[in-house]
Amino acid sequence: MSTATYTVTGMTCGHCVGSVKEEVGQVAGVTAVDVDLKTGQVTVTSERPVDDAEITAAVEEAGYEVKV
C-alpha cells in the first residue's frame, strides 16, 4: 500500500471535491482518494506507487491544478 499527498488549487465547493475524487479515482491502482476542501490537500492511497504525472493529469482533467 502506498500513500501520497498533493496540494490542489482552485477548488471552492463540494462539486469541485467530487470532480477531483472521480478523476483521480480512475487512475489505475488508486484505491482511495481523500480531499480536504479547506486545505486543498488530496491524499491518494494506491496498491503501488502511482506516477505523479498520472495524478497531475487526472487533477487537470477535473479542471484544477496541482501546486508544485
Per cent of the chain over pLDDT 70 is: 100
Specify the number of domains making up the chain.
Answer: 1
Range of the domain at 33: 2-66
- pLDDT (0 to 100) of residue 68: 78
Query: Does residue 15 register a pLDDT over 90?
Result: yes
Cell of 42: 488530496
Q: How far apart are CA 34 and CA 29, in angstroms?
A: 15
Which CATH number belongs to the domain containing residue 38 in this structure? Answer: 3.30.70.100
Tell me how crowded residue 21 is: count the other CB atoms within 10 A of its CB: 16
For the whole model, what pTM was predicted? Answer: 0.94
Q: For residue 53, which amino acid is it?
A: A
Q: Which residue has the cell 488549487?
A: 9
34-46 residue pLDDT tens: 999 999 999 999 9
Averaged pLDDT, 2-12:
97
- pLDDT (0 to 100) of residue 47: 94
Q: How far apart are CA 50 and CA 15, in angstroms?
A: 25
